[in-house]
Amino acid sequence: MYEKILVAADGSDHSKRAAHEAVRMAKTNPQAFVTLLYVIDYEKARTEILHGQSSDEVHLERRKHLVPLEEIFRSAGINFETKTLHGVPGPTIVKHANETGYDVVLIGSRGLNTLQEMVLGSVSHKVAKRVEAPVIIVK
């Protein structure tokens, strides 16, 4: 049974499915605790500021992504916390997961095709390769 569960989220439908899967896992263990991790990408943050959004607007926009995910855990009665880190998503998730020692990591997959994944790589693929704990990629 998993006790320390990390859900790497970006607010997409894929991360919502990962959150629902984490709820199912957490319900099997009364000691389970979920960390909902949101990584603020430096490049995206820089672009938002360059396009004239105030820091308050940027913060509210990010909260809009997290609130529905938090509600998934809250409504299911799951113990959880939300963490926000800054950096490049893949390496930041890997570093946090490995340093904190989670029992399992869940991450949504955007479903890149083979060419896109070869050229761009995917965050979920990078996380699965480098995190020491088991990683579940949710489609």
pLDDT digits (tens, 9 = 90+) for 46-95: 554 555 556 666 666 777 889 999 999 999 999 999 999 999 999 999 99
For residue 72, count CB atoms less than 10 angstroms from its CB and return exposed for 0-12, middle for 13-18, buried for 19 or more. buried
Distance of CA 111 to the CA centre of its chain: 16
pLDDT, tens digit, 9 for 90 and up, residues 13-38: 899 999 999 999 999 999 999 999 99
The structural domains of the chain, ordered by start, are 4-138 (3.40.50.620)
Cα angle at 42 between 116 and 44, to 5 degrees? 60
Contact 11, 41 (CB under 8 A): no
Quickly count helices (H) and strands (E) in the chain.
Answer: 6, 5
pTM (global) more than 0.75:
yes
